[in-house]
Amino acid sequence: MSDRVRVALTPDPGGLLAQLEPAGAADAAPLLAQLTGGPPHRGPGVVDEHLSADLAGPSARLPLADVLYGGPRFVGREAELLDRYPGCLVVATGWADGALRTQVRTGALVAWLPGLGGRGVPAGMLGSLLHAWLVTGAPAGALGSVALLVPGGAFRVDAQPASRRTASASRSASGAPSRR
């Protein structure tokens, strides 16, 4: 499905505080996220509106999307998808265990792992938050972590970039987790 996503970013001492409003969630509270890394954003707040599309959804919507996201069958195809859809800025793919990969049009490919004791940030949300991060002018490689702040403070969900060495060592050639 192709959705309009709105992300409002506000400077925060630790990075940026993001308010994510996915389309179709008018009656739901916005999700809050903390984005950290790189030099602090010194400008005013930023609002980013973009289209995101699930790669498993209708193919007619994919060329319109600024952010594409999908599950395990799309992992490793990020560069191919960016080539196929020139209007797309961010592709986010993930495994069922919460590990993710993001690639941006500039070529930066990052592997992400769930924070200790946490669940991974869903690929579509991470893609949209990374898109908003880029809109501020910050480089993709400067984003150090993303944490969803769940209303009520019941739990916190983190995704942190993994080094390429860690990511490649923890996956077999098929992409399945390997035993250590």
Point out the residues of the chain with pLDDT beneath 50.
Answer: 1, 153-155, 164-180
pLDDT per position as a tens digit, 43-66? 788 899 999 999 999 899 999 999
- The span from the CA of 104 to the CA of 82, in Å, is 8
Q: Where are the alpha helices (DSSP H) in the chain?
A: 78-84, 123-135, 164-169
Q: What is the pLDDT of residue 172?
A: 40
Instruction: State the pairing for strand pair 31-36/15-22.
Output: antiparallel
- The span from the CA of 35 to the CA of 19, in Å, is 11
Give the list of residues 6+ apart from residue 149 with CB closer than 8 angstroms, or none. 31, 32, 33, 34, 156
pLDDT per position as a tens digit, 147-162? 888 755 434 556 666 6
Q: What are phi and psi of 100, to 5 degrees?
A: -135, 165
Exposed/middle/buried for residue 100 (C-beta within 10 Å: 0-12, 13-18, 19+): buried
Q: Which amino acid is at 135?
A: V
Q: What is the pLDDT of residue 126?
A: 92
Does residue 159 contact residue 145 with C-beta atoms inside 8 Å?
yes
